[in-house]
Amino acid sequence: MKLSDQEMARKSKLERLAQENIDLFPRKVESTHSVYEIVAAFSSLSSEELEKKKEKIIVPGRIISVRKMGRATFFHIMDSRAKLQVYLREDKVSKRNYELFSLIDIGDIISVEGMLFKTQTGELTVLAESFTFLAKCLHPLPEKWHGLQDVEIRYRQRFLDLIMNPEQREVFRLRSAMISHVRKFFDGKGYIEVETPMMQPIPGGALARPFKTFHNALGMDLYLRIAPELYLKRLIVGGFEKVYEINRSFRNEGISSEHNPEFTMLEFYEAYADYNDMMDMTEELIQEMSLALLGKEEIAYGANKISLKRPWKRLKFKEALTTYSGLAPSRFDDRAGVIEFASTLTPEKQAPSYGKALDVIFDKCVKESLVQPTFVLNPPKEVSPLAKAARDDPDEAERFELVMGGMEIANAFSELSDPEEQRIRFEEQEQARKGGDEDAHWIDRDYIHALEYGLPPTGGEGIGIDRLVMLFADRKSIREVILFPLLRQKE
């Protein structure tokens, strides 16, 4: 790897530091505060108050800017949440140490010991008495004014993105807070958090293509899970009334601004509940989350404002089709015509049936129109092999999809609990699979066996956490809310 002139300069400074007998990789640094803690605790104090306090602090951080003026230097250090100015004077730190400081570059990590004061412009600043070298940054940092813009570098070298772009750090801080909120919410309702297999002999719980792997010792094919659903329902059979899991699922499909091959899903199941209860709980969870983390019930998403005020719109799947698809309601009576129409939307794959065709039309023509949170109720049963049939129509499923900002955020149903019907539905899926539908559900006999021990009436739901973060953080690409999104290998 060829070094640039700037990298050579940094490397030679590192060597000179080594010659000065400075520990280049110290094991531990004592500190009294983080940068953020200092800013939070002392910013509001006046010069006089700081003077009186004589607070001596030791604070570590990364140098992000330097302004040298002869025998004095101002620079800023930062931590993940704040930055702090340091004032370094030759007469305070000794001539030798002041010269040593010239071996330190923007990007290096140091700790500074000194007293706090305020400059003439009122900025909280550390008057340094000494500094300790903690780590060398061997590459120049991106430009201070524009930061790092190149999306490819931002994703491939996320650490650089995080160093340079504070708003990006905030996205991931928000993501973390959202996940904490989810846990608090369910723990508070008496749910227990569980972990179910990510490697499964039969990938179930959703209609999607899996990643395949192999266990050497057992000589056994395994699949990365496409959903935790069937295992969570086994736990309901086992007697846990309320379970949730928040973790990764994997789908071997296209990558887009709404799809990453591995993504984080919240799934929760509650015995003696149905999909109506799930709707109430979803509204409550997301609305409270917004109030708690964003301080409001309305979120800005691109040019749109999304109101999370309850209750949210509830719309029958068929109504959604007739209202938003642009097709006259009467056209939906012509089953062959609907299949024909759906096929024009997906020329590479003919919709094999009426239910599938309706689903295609919903995806292509309806979803993007639903910006405000909308529960789309009762989609075709045939695309919902794990849901109970609707109470008033045997062709519909007792299921909803929550659509928001044009994206599907959640999917829930009153769980199918009749083992015999489940077996028939699996067999129908098997037929579709044989007919070339690679996404059709596999037959999971062990799951049917579990159902035979009795699954109580159960409501269950999955929420796409990444997409929810996109909405809360106002990001248009799922890669912006996943720390390390999958990219093609370079070279």
- Of residues 73-92, which lie at the interface with RNA (CB under 7 A)? 74, 76, 85, 87, 89-91
- Considering only residues 374 to 403 of the shown chain, the ones binding RNA according to CB under 7 A are 401
Among 349, 391, 445, 449, binds RNA (CB under 7 A): 349
Kindly report the three-state secondary structure assignment for every residue of 21-90.
CCCCCCCCCCCCCCHHHHHHHHCCCCHHHHHHHCCEEEEEEEEEEEEEECCEEEEEEECCCCEEEEEEEH
Interaction between residue 48 and RNA (CB under 7 A): no
Rule CB under 7 A: is residue 167 a binding residue for RNA? no
The residue to which tokens 């040593």 are assigned: 100
Q: Which of 206, 143, 145, 135 minimizes the C-alpha distance to 386?
A: 206
- CB under 7 A: which stretch of 99-107, 170-178, 266-274, 301-309 binds RNA? 99-107
Task: Give 111: exposed, middle or buried? Use CB within 10 Å, 0-12, 13-18, 19+.
Answer: buried
Judged by CB under 7 A, does residue 150 bind RNA?
A: yes
Rounded to a whole number of angstroms, the minimum distance from the CB of residue 197 to RNA is: 19
Cα-based angle 141, 147, 151 (whole degrees, multiple of 5):
100
55 part of the interface to RNA, by CB under 7 A? no
Instruction: For residue 162, state whether it binds RNA (rule: CB under 7 A).
Output: no
Integer Cα distance of 460 and 486 in angstroms: 29
Residues 109-128 that bind RNA (CB under 7 A): 117, 119-121, 123, 125
Q: Does 210 bind RNA (CB under 7 A)?
A: no
Contact call for residue 256 and RNA (CB under 7 A) = yes
Whether residue 404 contacts residue 306, with contact meaning beta carbons closer than 8 Å, is answered with yes
Q: How far is the CB of 292 from RNA (least distance, A)?
A: 25
- Cβ proximity to RNA: between 125 and 458 the closer is 125
**Integer Cα distance of 261 and 253 in angstroms:** 7
Rule CB under 7 A: say whether 257 interacts with RNA: yes
Instruction: For the CB of residue 297, give the shortest distance to RNA in the complex, in Å.
Output: 25
User: Does 16 sit near RNA (CB under 7 A)?
Assistant: no
Asked if 247 touches RNA (CB under 7 A), the answer is no
- What is the number of alpha carbons within 13 Å of residue 455 lying toward its C-beta? 34
- By the rule CB under 7 A, 158 interacts with RNA: no
d(CA 254, CA 272): 37
Judged by CB under 7 A, the residue of 277, 297, 428, 439 near RNA is: 439
> Counting contacts by CB under 7 A, is residue 67 touching RNA?
yes
Q: Is the CB of 10 or the CB of 242 nearer to RNA?
A: 10
Query: What tokens appear for 270 in the block?
Result: 């509650």
Site for RNA, residues 402 to 431, rule: CB under 7 A: 408, 411
Measured in whole angstroms, the distance separating CA 366 from the mean position of its chain's CA atoms is: 25
**Residue 149 touching RNA (CB under 7 A):** yes
Q: Report 453-472 residues binding RNA (CB under 7 A).
A: 464
- Give the binding range for RNA (CB under 7 A) out of 50-58, 168-176, 206-214, 424-432: 206-214
Helix axes 317-324, 354-361, angle to 10 degrees: 60
H-run or E-run covering 265: strand 262-271
CA distance 270 to 277: 9
Interacting residues with RNA between 289 and 348 (CB under 7 A): 345-348
157 lines the binding site for RNA (CB under 7 A): no
Site membership for RNA, residue 491 (CB under 7 A): yes
